[in-house]
Homo-oligomer: A and B are copies of this chain.
């Protein structure tokens, strides 16, 4: 066990891990850091290190890990180890881990829980993991709406959960009735009704709200947690800023990985076959679009044979369009994600991007035309590539703005599929414009 590792035992640990640092992290329960450390280890080293970590830390670490590496560790655990894991587990832990557990193990974990936790877990499962209700926390303080300051102080004398800066007030039927800041309670006279010092219009989250949007709301609220209610205003739980920050970070990481067609849970050291499989779909889609572009080039075989400079310069046209388009695309995707692009302003945005495209198109058409004309010592080649660049950059700006808006309307993820669709458009338009103009003007 790492906890009581001695210098002589160190050698059993993988060479990649500093056992002293690991012991310190475990001692301070810095499980997020331990999880990150484990993820950074090649598979074999990871198994060795995991087997050396004392069981009491397992749950805390697993909860912090990404799904793929976590699943790999869970797969290696024996039923006895798993049962030990399940013993200390509450509903929120199981919600976090359920992605990495087969159904039979989820049932086993549930049967080790008490009724309340099982009830909480089933409540969370009623909401998809994209909704706030799935990520409910149950460690909060609440009191009836007619409670007094002295009741609150009695409650506060117990151990406070993490991220508690308010007490929630509820009606007899469990409806959310308001929140009182802890700071207001401490100063107030014992007999005062809490309702009198409650915050006005305290922001709540609906369990059906989008989880990322709800999390941003928590981050912007200035409070450590916001109450989560259902459509009848019944208090179901809370979303605290720790959970909210994890959800927002996962969301952003997912966006970043999606730009390469990867999943947020991708393991740095997944087995070769798994990694290849994870990437195959994206490569396959790209192959289709590449062959589509090739097919369009093929229409101009005769032209290419006559003017081989066109073959040489072809990629320049496609690539300038691709880059200009991806700039617009990235800006619009961010706007969509932040809710800043909507029905009202989208035409203004398309118009502005078209203007930027026209402006950029003219400038780069001149630059590229001049260079290409000089290179091949032909005014007409310069003229043809100028026109093609202009057409392609303007098309790219238009596509970069319209594609993500259209994809979002079709309920597809613009961050994932936007760049493929855009590249297909800019490749094909670029090749056809350039080779088509070449066929007209150069042969």
Is A232 positioned at the interface, with any CB of B under 8 Å from its CB?
no
Chain B residues with CB under 8 A of A241: 224, 241-242, 245
Name the distance in Å between A200's Cβ and chain B's nearest Cβ: 9
Looking at chain A's contact residues, is the secondary structure mostly helix, strand, loop, or mixed? helix
**Known A186-B153, A279-B324, A364-B283; contact A334-B256, beta-carbon cutoff 8 A:** yes
Q: Which residues of B contact A273 (CB under 8 A)?
A: 359
| Interface pair A28/B183, CB less than 8 Å apart | no
Interface-located stretch among A100-108, A112-120, A307-315: A307-315
| Cβ proximity bits A189-212 to B, threshold 8 Å, 1 near / 0 not | 000000000000101000000000
If A260-B329, A330-B260 touch, whether A40 touches B352 (CB-CB below 8 Å) is no
Taking CB atoms, residues of chain B closer than 8 Å to A123 are: none
Closest partner residue, chain B, to A159 (CB atom): B183
Binds B, one of A71-79, A171-179, A287-295: A287-295
**Nearest B residue (CB) for A241:** B241
A276 on the B face (CB < 8 A): yes
- Would you call A219 and B242 a contact (CB within 8 A)? yes
> Smallest CB–CB gap between A224 and chain B, Å?
5
**Given A293-B315, A323-B282, CB of A40 within 8 Å of CB of B224:** no
Q: What interface size band does chain A fall in?
A: 35 or more
- The answer for the CA separation of A279 and B342 in the assembled complex, in Å, is 24
Q: Which of A245-298 contact B (CB under 8 A)?
A: 245-246, 248-249, 252-253, 255-257, 259-262, 266, 268-269, 272-273, 275-276, 279-280, 282-283, 286-287, 289-291, 293-294, 297-298
Cβ contacts under 8 Å, A290 to chain B: 315-316, 319-320
Assess whether A269 is in contact with B352, with CB atoms less than 8 Å apart. Answer: yes
What are the residues of chain B within 8 A of A352 when measuring CB–CB?
42, 269, 272, 275
B287 and A316 form a contact (CB under 8 A)? yes
Q: Chain B residues near A315 (CB, 8 Å)? A: 290, 293-294, 297, 314-315, 318, 427, 431
Residues in chain B near residue A252, CB distance under 8 A: 249, 252-253, 255-256
Q: Which A residues, 321 to 358, have Cβ-Cβ distances below 8 Å to chain B?
A: 323-324, 326-327, 329-331, 334-335, 338-342, 344-345, 348-349, 352, 355-356
Q: Chain B contacts of A163 at CB under 8 A?
A: 165, 222, 224
Structural contact, B335 and A268, CB atoms closer than 8 A: yes
Please tell me if A156 contacts chain B, counting CB pairs below 8 Å.
Answer: yes
Report the bound CA distance from A158 to B187 in whole Å.
Answer: 7
A224 near B165: Cβ-Cβ < 8 Å: yes
- Cβ of A162 under 8 Å from chain B: yes
Binding stretch for chain B, among A31-39, A87-95, A126-134: A31-39
Which residue of chain B has its CB nearest to the CB of A318? B315
Q: Is A441 positioned at the interface, with any CB of B under 8 Å from its CB?
A: no
Report A48 CB to chain B, min CB distance, Å: 14
Rounded to whole angstroms, the CA-CA distance of A408 and B323 in the bound complex is 23
9 A–B contacts, CB within 8 A, in A order: A36-B339, A42-B348, A157-B186, A219-B249, A249-B252, A260-B323, A262-B331, A272-B355, A283-B360
Query: What 5 A-B pairs are tightest by C-beta distance, nearest first?
Result: A160-B183, A252-B252, A40-B340, A260-B330, A311-B311
Chain A residues close to B by CB (< 8 Å): 15-16, 28, 30, 32-33, 36, 39-42, 153, 156-160, 162-165, 181-183, 186-187, 201, 203, 219-220, 222-224, 241-242, 244-246, 248-249, 252-253, 255-257, 259-262, 266, 268-269, 272-273, 275-276, 279-280, 282-283, 286-287, 289-291, 293-294, 297-298, 301, 304-305, 308-309, 311-316, 318-320, 323-324, 326-327, 329-331, 334-335, 338-342, 344-345, 348-349, 352, 355-356, 359-360, 363-364, 367-368, 371, 427, 431
5 further A-B contacts with Cβ under 8 Å, apart from A186-B186, A260-B329, are A36-B339, A156-B186, A241-B245, A255-B256, A257-B334
